[in-house]
Chain A
Amino acid sequence: MHALANPARFLRIAKPATGWCFAIGLVLAIAGVVGGLTLTPPDYLQGETVRIMYVHVPAAWLGMAGWAGIAAAALSQLVWRHPLAAVAGRAIAPCGAVFTAICLATGSIWGRPTWGTWWQWDGRLTSMLILFFLYLGYIALAAAESERSGDGRITAIFGLVGAINLPIIHYSVLWWRTLHQGQSISFSGSTIAPSILWPLPLTFFGFTLLFAAAVLMRMRGELARARVEARLRRASAE
C-alpha cells in the first residue's frame, strides 16, 4: 500500500485499472443479471421474487465493504499519513452510499411480496439504514472540512468510529431474530440450491469491479482537481 503513496505512481496503475475494472465488471454483471432473470428456476417458497437476490446481496456487500474501505483509509491517514488515504475515503463514500441505498430499496421491494410489508424496524434493516445515514454524514463532513481547508482528520475519525456499525449489521440477524432471514452464505458453504446460486458470484464480482471502477474514477478526478488548484495557486503567487 505504501508503494502507492506517490500520486504519480498511483495514477500510472489507476489509469489502465479503471478501464479493466469497468469492462470485466460490466461483462460479469450482465452475465449474472441475464442468468439470474432467465436461466435459474423459481424458488420453491419465494417463487420468482428470489431473483431480487442477485442485485440485493451484492449491493449489501458493497455498502458494508465501502465503509470498511473508508475505515481502512482513515486508519492509514491517521497512523501512516498516507497522502492518498483521504482522497480514497472521499471517493468511496458516494459509491458506498449509492449501493447502500440500492440495498435498502431492493430489500424493501423484496419484502413486500415476501413478508407482506415494505419496511419493518428489524435489526438488519435498521442497522443498514443507519449505515446509509453514516455515509450521508461522512459526505457532508468531508465537504465541510475541505471547504475550510482542513486536513480531514475529523472526517477520518468519523470514518473509524462509524465502523462500529459493521459488526452490528453482520451479527444483527443472530442478535435480534425478527424478520430478516439469517445468514444463508458463509465461508463453510451455502443453504441455497446450486441451481439458484450460480449467478450470484457473477453479479457479486461484477458489481464489485464496477464499484472499484467508480472509486478509481473519483480518485483520479480528485487528484486532477488538486493539480489544477496547485497550479492556479502557483500562478497567482508568481
Chain B
Amino acid sequence: MNPWPFVIAAYAIALVATAGLLLASFVSMRRAEAKADSLRNRK
C-alpha cells in the first residue's frame, strides 16, 4: 500500500482546517471591531 496518499490527505486536512479556523476568526474579529469603531466615531 502506497503510504503517501494517506500522509498527504492527513496534512491537507490539518492545514486546511487550521487555515480555515484562523481565517474565520480573523474575519469575524475584523468585522466586529470595525463596527465597534464606526459606532464610536459616529458619536
Contacts and interface: CB of A to CB of B under 8 A. Distances in A.
Interface residues of B, number: 27
A95 B28 CA distance: 14
Nearest to A30: B15
B34 to A, nearest CB: 8
B30 to A, nearest CB: 8
Given A48-B4, A231-B39, A217 B25 contact: yes
B21 A95 contact: yes
A109 B17 CA distance: 15
A47 B1 CA distance: 11
B25 to A, nearest CB: 4
Contacts, number: 97
Contacts of B28: 217-218, 221
Contacts of A217: 22, 25-26, 28-29
A49 B13 CA distance: 15
What is the predominant secondary structure among interface residues of chain A facing chain B?
A: helix
A69 to B, nearest CB: 15
A119 B36 CA distance: 46
B24 to A, nearest CB: 8
A202 to B, nearest CB: 14
Given A55-B10, A102-B18, A109-B10, A47 B29 contact: no
Interface of A: 22, 29, 33, 37, 47-49, 51-52, 55-56, 59, 94-95, 98, 101-102, 105-106, 109-110, 112-113, 207, 210, 213-214, 217-218, 220-222, 224-225, 227-228, 231-232
Given A55-B11, A94-B21, A207-B18, 4 more contacts: A55-B14, A98-B17, A217-B26, A217-B29
| 4 closest A-B pairs by CB | A224-B32, A55-B14, A221-B29, A217-B25
